[in-house]
Structure formats: structure tokens, C-alpha cells
């Protein structure tokens, strides 16, 4: 009897002081640069458990005034590297909310570079102001994105510093008098990679928005790309994201195509710069549907790779938009569709007098890129902190 009523008392008590535990995903399963959810409202005593997804993120406290800089004496999880494709037992880091003041958070990866995760919008807040108020979450995120934009602009102007002109942010394509956005400046990163009990150090060129240099597995994944499927002048998928060691297997399905490496500013000619000659599959004519030829390349770096089909008979396939990209930065002006537009502009109808406006197949073939499917997993658990109460009553 006594025990029962004590239990009831403890339970009644616990309801009024129960702490809520908020789960927040840090980054997405496929490398999304975001916290999910992006903002929560919590009471003193509540806990926030951060779950670190693949890549190498942090949970670092900043301030509204300086969204991408550390707050003096603020909280910081430090870097938490997680191998690609890890989905189970993600590392976690927990904070306790002590009051109702806002807590501003960002990921400090690649700080002060155009690849800054914070500058790309990877920010989070506890108890931010309501929508429409000066310290709302959207104002905080806008401020972080503005930091990113100015970092990119600074990198672009320092790259193009040779030309003093104010319009130094656009360059001209190799031919055709078309202005194109400048190249992003890569940063040389030396990283120790641990994967399946192997550890090694790698130095690679990291580009803004490029995937981590951590291979998906020791052998790499095989990613299949069809060439000329359904008799169309397309690579499918037209752009992919790949990690070092991944094998891209091109399967030729129709006609007589190639996979040839080019560069962003010269999309329809084989790369040949400073002694680097781009890869080329050679022509693969499909004569028999039973044995489709394949041709493979191995990805060595996370730098963007641009490619096209160099068939020109009867019309330029590249000019019809038959181009392909690996690790293009979709957050930049040098994204896949910009590359495809440039190919069409330089080698398309403008260059071949024949009005072969090939049914605009290129526009339709581009898939909705980078769908940010952030799993809204704000599973809210209630933790009963009755133990202490029970013991104090006893
Ligand atoms: C809450 O207080 C504890 C104990 O002083 C401290 O460790 C923790 O960092 C504080 N939480 C926040 C969000 O500042
Ligand atoms: C390139 O384009 C600009 C602006 O459209 C034009 O003024 C210029 O004459 C063109 N140059 C050549 C070589 O066609
Ligand atoms: C994580 O990122 C930090 C900062 O860029 C770097 O120093 C560290 O080596 C990275 N760790 C791994 C395992 O990639
Ligand atoms: C990693 O994810 C990709 C895409 O979901 C999948 O194809 C691949 O098999 C995964 N690799 C490993 C080692 O699990
Ligand atoms: C080729 O070399 C020149 C001069 O060293 C350099 O400015 C340019 O960026 C290089 N191009 C490539 C694609 O590496
Ligand atoms: C494939 O195309 C190339 C270039 O147009 C041509 O030289 C070659 O003969 C073609 N091959 C076949 C089997 O049609
Ligand atoms: C291959 O299959 C497609 C569709 O099934 C057909 O249109 C085409 O004629 C076939 N090509 C050859 C060479 O058999
Ligand atoms: C490409 O790689 C796949 C998977 O490793 C393999 O099955 C295929 O035979 C390779 N193709 C060529 C032409 O080497
Ligand atoms: C990766 O390196 C290998 C060996 O050096 C080379 O054959 C291959 O072409 C490289 N891959 C790319 C995409 O450049
Ligand atoms: C694209 O046009 C350039 C310049 O006219 C030409 O040199 C190149 O061969 C063309 N490439 C293709 C694939 O049409
Ligand atoms: C991607 O390229 C298209 C076409 O040039 C351009 O309109 C768009 O603004 C680019 N996206 C970004 C994020 O810059
Ligand atoms: C991320 O993964 C989800 C499902 O795992 C997928 O639907 C989505 O297309 C992926 N997004 C990107 C940008 O790869």
C-alpha cells in the first residue's frame, strides 16, 4: 500500500519535472550539409542529442552576430568524422539546455573557405526568436549564407586577381565568345582516413561542395551510367557524386558514342592542358543488343570531372547536350546544367547551321538535382527523472 502510493507520488512529481530529449541529425545520410530539424524550442533541463551522420561535422556554438565563428567559451563537440554510408550507431553528443536564452550553433568544417559548411547554411538554433523577429532562425541562416557568399566572392576575386577590371568574376569560354563563371579555387587537404581497419594518409584537392575523400569501401562502389539509352543522346544519370576508388561503369546501349573527358570551359573538346590529356573511351558502336559494351574509369579525387560524347556524325552529340559530370558543385554557378548549357551554346545549333533543334531533349533529361530529403526525425522521447526524487523521498 505504502509503496504503491509512493510510486504514484513519484510519478505525479515526475510529470511536472520531466525533461524532453530532442534528437537532431547532424548532416544527412548522403552528405547533406544541414542539421535536422534546424531549430528547436526547449525548456531548462531538456537535452539535445546530436547524431553525427557521414562526413566530418561539428556542433559548435556561435553567436547571432557572427554565425560562422566560435563563441568564446562556447560549446564545441569537436570534429566527428563518420565513414560514408554509416547508418547504424552514429556517434552522438549531448547538451543540456539550462535556460531559455537562444543557443546558436554551426558546423566549423572548412571554416573561412568557400567550402565552409556554415557558409553553405549548416546552422542550428535552440530557442531562437519567432519568425519575423530580428533574431529569427531565418535571419540567422541568411547571415550564415552571407558569410559563405562573401568567402566565395573573395576566393573568386583572388583567383582572378591578375585582371584588375571590376568584371573579373566572369571569364570567357575557350571559343564562341561566351562568358562563363570562374573556377572555384581548390584547397589542398591532407587527411588521415580510417576505413575497415585500414588507415592511410591522403592529400587531395578539395573543391567547394565536393564529397569527402573517404572511399565508400576499400574496393570502391561500382556506379553504372548508361550511354545512349533508349536511342537518346544522353548519359543516364547525367551527373553523379562519387568518392575516390569508385568505379564508374559506362554501358553503351545504342548508336556509336564515346565518353571523353573535357573541361568546364571547353565542354566539347578533349581535355589537353599542361600535358594532362583527358580520358577517352573511344567509339563504341552497339551492333547487338545482347552484348552491350562497357568501359570503366576509376575516380581518384573529389575534383569535378567533366565529360562528353565526341560523336559528330550526323550532328554534334555534345552540342545536343550529351554531356556528363562527376562531382560537379551544384551549389555553384559551375553546376551541371550550366555545363550542359555551355555545350549546347558552343557546339549546338549556333555552330551547326542546320536548324537541328533536336527536340530540346537535353532539358528534359536533367533530373531534379540534389533533392534535399532531410529526414525529419524529431523523435521526441520523454525521460522520466524520477529516480532522484524517489531516493530523496526514501
Ligand atoms: C548547462 O550547464 C552545465 C553545467 O554548468 C554546462 O556543463 C552546460 O554546458 C550548460 N549548457 C549550455 C547549453 O550552456
Ligand atoms: C564578344 O561579345 C561581346 C559582347 O556580346 C561583343 O561586344 C564582342 O564584339 C564579341 N567579340 C567577338 C570576337 O565576337
Ligand atoms: C576532420 O576535419 C578536420 C578539420 O578539417 C581535420 O583536421 C580532420 O583530420 C578530419 N578528420 C578526418 C578523419 O577526416
Ligand atoms: C553506399 O551507398 C551507395 C548508394 O546508396 C550504395 O550503392 C553502396 O552499396 C553503399 N556502399 C556500402 C559499402 O555500403
Ligand atoms: C597550366 O599552366 C599554366 C601556367 O603554369 C597555369 O596558369 C594554368 O592554370 C594551368 N592549367 C591547368 C588546367 O592546370
Ligand atoms: C563510329 O563513329 C566514328 C566517328 O564518327 C566512325 O569513325 C566509326 O566508323 C563509327 N563506327 C561504326 C561501327 O559505325
Ligand atoms: C536494340 O533494341 C532496340 C529496342 O528494343 C531496337 O529498337 C534496336 O533496333 C535493337 N538494335 C539492334 C542492333 O538489335
Ligand atoms: C567494369 O567494371 C565492372 C565491375 O567491376 C566489371 O564487371 C566490368 O567487366 C568492367 N568493364 C570493363 C570493360 O573492364
Ligand atoms: C585515376 O588514376 C588512374 C591511374 O593513374 C588513371 O588511369 C585514371 O585515368 C585516373 N582516373 C581519372 C578519372 O582521371
Ligand atoms: C565543338 O566545337 C569546336 C569548335 O568549333 C570543335 O573544335 C569541336 O570539335 C566541337 N566538338 C564537338 C564534339 O562537336
Ligand atoms: C546553375 O546553373 C544554372 C544555369 O547556368 C544557373 O541558372 C543557376 O543559377 C546555377 N545554380 C547556382 C546555384 O548557381
Ligand atoms: C539522399 O538519400 C535519399 C534516400 O536515401 C534519396 O532519396 C535522395 O535522392 C538522396 N539525395 C541526394 C542528393 O543524393
295 lines ligand 8 (CB under 6 A): yes
Report the 10 Å Cβ neighbour count for 3. 7
The pLDDT score that the predictor gives to residue 170 is: 66
Least confident interval from 10-19, 136-145, 360-369: 360-369
Closest listed residue to residue 294, CA positions, set 219, 217, 222: 222
Please answer whether residues 107 and 76 qualify as being in contact, where contact means their C-beta atoms are separated by less than 8 angstroms. Answer: no
Closest listed residue to residue 109, CA positions, set 86, 77, 142, 141: 77
Percent over 70 (pLDDT), the chain: 80
221 CA → ligand 4 middle, Å = 7
The band of 371, judged by pLDDT with boundaries at 50, 70 and 90, is: very low
Question: 11 by DSSP, 3-state: which?
Answer: helix
Name the DSSP class of 115.
Answer: T
Closest listed residue to residue 124, CA positions, set 180, 57, 171, 173: 57
The band of 387, judged by pLDDT with boundaries at 50, 70 and 90, is: very low
Please answer whether residues 53 and 27 qualify as being in contact, where contact means their C-beta atoms are separated by less than 8 angstroms. Answer: yes
Distance CA 277, CA 198 (A): 32
Highest mean pLDDT among 11-15, 188-192, 209-213, 345-349: 345-349
The pLDDT score that the predictor gives to residue 8 is: 43
Least confident interval from 77-81, 82-86, 118-122, 123-127: 82-86
Q: Does the structure show a pLDDT above 60 at 181?
A: yes
Find out whether the peptide bond into 314 is cis, omega within 30 degrees of 0: yes
The band of 391, judged by pLDDT with boundaries at 50, 70 and 90, is: very low
Bridge partners, residue 25, by sequence = 36, 51
CA-proximal residue: ligand 12, atom 7 (nearest):
373
346 CA → ligand 9 middle, Å = 28
Bridge partners, residue 226, by sequence = 236, 251
The band of 393, judged by pLDDT with boundaries at 50, 70 and 90, is: very low
- Substitution site in 96, 102, 103 for ligand 1 pocket (most atoms within 8 Å of beta carbon): 96
CA-proximal residue: ligand 4, atom 6 (nearest):
221
Say what the pTM is: 0.55
Q: Does the structure show a pLDDT above 90 at 338?
A: yes
Q: Which atom of ligand 4 is nearest to the CA of 84?
A: 1
CA-proximal residue: ligand 1, atom 7 (nearest):
96
Q: Mean pLDDT over residues 368-387, rounded?
A: 28
Q: Does the structure show a pLDDT above 80 at 13?
A: no
Name the DSSP class of 230.
Answer: G
Encode pLDDT of 201-227 as tens digits.
Answer: 877 777 777 777 788 888 889 999 999
Encode pLDDT of 274-311 as tens digits.
Answer: 778 999 999 999 987 778 999 999 998 888 999 999 99
31 lines ligand 3 (CB under 6 A): no
Q: Does the structure show a pLDDT above 50 at 349?
A: yes
Q: Does the structure show a pLDDT above 90 at 350?
A: no
Please answer whether residues 252 and 234 qualify as being in contact, where contact means their C-beta atoms are separated by less than 8 angstroms. Answer: no
Q: Does the structure show a pLDDT above 80 at 249?
A: yes
The pLDDT score that the predictor gives to residue 377 is: 29
Question: 191 by DSSP, 3-state: which?
Answer: strand
Please answer whether residues 220 and 242 qualify as being in contact, where contact means their C-beta atoms are separated by less than 8 angstroms. Answer: no
Cell 504514484 sits at which residue?
A: 8
Percent over 90 (pLDDT), the chain: 53
CA neighbours closer than 13 Å in the CB half-sphere of residue 226? 14
Q: Mean pLDDT over residues 255-281, rounded?
A: 93
Pull the grid cell for residue 381: 522521447
Distance CA 203, CA 298 (A): 17
- Phi, psi at residue 210, to the nearest 5°? -80, 155
CB burial of 221-250 (b: ≥16 within 10 Å; e: otherwise) equals bebebbbbeeebbbbbbbbbbbbbbbebeb
154 lines ligand 8 (CB under 6 A): no
CB burial of 272-294 (b: ≥16 within 10 Å; e: otherwise) equals eeeeeebeebeebebeeeeeebe
Q: Does the structure show a pLDDT above 60 at 69?
A: yes
Distance CA 116, CA 72 (A): 20
Positive or negative, the Cα torsion across 194, 88, 54, 122?
A: negative
The pLDDT score that the predictor gives to residue 288 is: 78
Encode pLDDT of 117-176 as tens digits.
Answer: 999 999 999 999 999 888 899 999 999 998 888 888 777 766 554 433 333 456 777 787
For each of the domains in the chain, give its residue range(s) and CATH number, in order of start: 18-151 (2.60.40.420), 187-385 (2.60.40.420)
- Average pLDDT over the chain reads 80
- Sheet arrangement for strand 305-308: 239-240, 323-326, 305-308, 260-262
Encode pLDDT of 326-335 as tens digits.
Answer: 999 888 889 9
Amino acid at each position: 500500500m505504502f509503496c504503491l502510493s509512493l510510486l504514484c507520488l513519484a510519478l505525479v512529481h515526475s510529470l511536472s519535472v520531466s525533461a524532453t530529449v530532442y534528437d537532431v541529425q547532424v548532416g544527412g545520410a548522403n552528405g547533406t550539409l544541414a542539421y535536422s530539424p534546424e531549430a528547436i524550442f526547449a525548456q531548462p533541463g531538456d537535452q539535445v542529442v546530436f547524431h553525427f551522420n557521414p562526413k566530418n561535422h561539428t556542433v559548435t556554438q556561435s553567436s547571432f552576430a557572427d554565425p560562422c565563428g566560435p563563441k568564446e567559451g562556447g560549446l564545441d563537440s569537436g570534429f566527428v568524422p563518420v565513414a560514408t554510408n554509416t547508418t547504424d550507431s552514429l556517434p552522438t553528443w549531448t547538451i543540456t539546455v539550462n535556460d531559455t536564452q537562444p543557443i546558436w550553433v554551426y558546423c566549423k568544417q572548412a571554416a573561412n573557405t568557400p567550402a565552409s559548411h556554415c557558409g553553405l547554411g549548416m546552422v542550428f538554433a535552440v530557442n531562437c526568436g519567432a519568425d519575423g523577429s530580428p533574431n529569427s532562425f531565418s535571419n540567422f541562416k541568411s547571415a550564415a549564407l552571407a558569410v559563405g557568399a562573401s568567402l566565395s566572392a573573395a576566393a573568386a576575386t583572388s583567383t582572378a586577381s591578375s585582371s584588375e577590371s571590376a568584371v573579373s568574376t566572369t571569364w570567357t569560354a575557350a571559343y564562341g565568345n561566351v562568358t562563363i563563371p570562374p573556377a572555384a579555387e581548390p584547397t589542398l587537404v591532407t587527411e588521415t582516413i580510417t576505413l575497415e581497419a585500414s588507415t592511410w594518409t591522403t592529400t587531395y584537392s578539395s573543391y567547394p561542395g565536393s564529397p569527402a575523400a573517404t572511399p565508400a569501401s576499400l574496393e570502391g562502389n561500382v556506379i553504372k551510367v548508361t550511354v545512349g539509352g533508349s536511342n537518346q543522346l544522353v548519359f543516364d544519370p547525367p551527373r553523379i557524386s562519387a568518392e575516390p576508388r569508385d568505379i564508374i561503369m559506362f554501358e553503351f546501349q545504342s548508336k556509336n558514342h564515346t565518353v571523353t573527358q573535357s573541361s568546364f570551359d571547353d565542354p566539347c573538346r578533349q581535355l589537353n592542358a599542361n600535358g594532362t590529356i583527358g580520358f577517352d573511351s573511344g567509339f563504341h558502336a552497339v551492333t547487338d543488343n545482347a552484348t552491350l559494351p562497357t568501359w570503366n574509369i576509376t575516380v581518384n579525387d573529389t575534383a569535378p570531372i567533366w565529360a562528353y560524347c565526341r560523336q559528330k556524325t550526323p550532328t554534334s552529340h555534345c552540342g545536343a547536350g550529351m554531356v556528363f559530370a562527376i562531382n560537379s558543385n551544384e551549389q555553384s554557378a559551375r553546376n551541371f546544367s550550366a555545363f550542359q548549357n555551355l555545350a549546347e551554346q558552343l557546339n549546338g545549333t549556333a555552330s551547326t547551321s542546320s536548324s537541328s533543334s533536336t527536340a530540346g531533349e537535353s532539358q528534359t533529361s536533367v533530373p531534379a538535382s540534389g533533392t534535399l530529403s532531410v529526414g525529419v526525425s524529431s523523435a521526441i522521447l520523454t525521460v522520466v527523472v524520477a529516480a532522484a526524487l524517489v531516493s530523496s523521498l526514501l
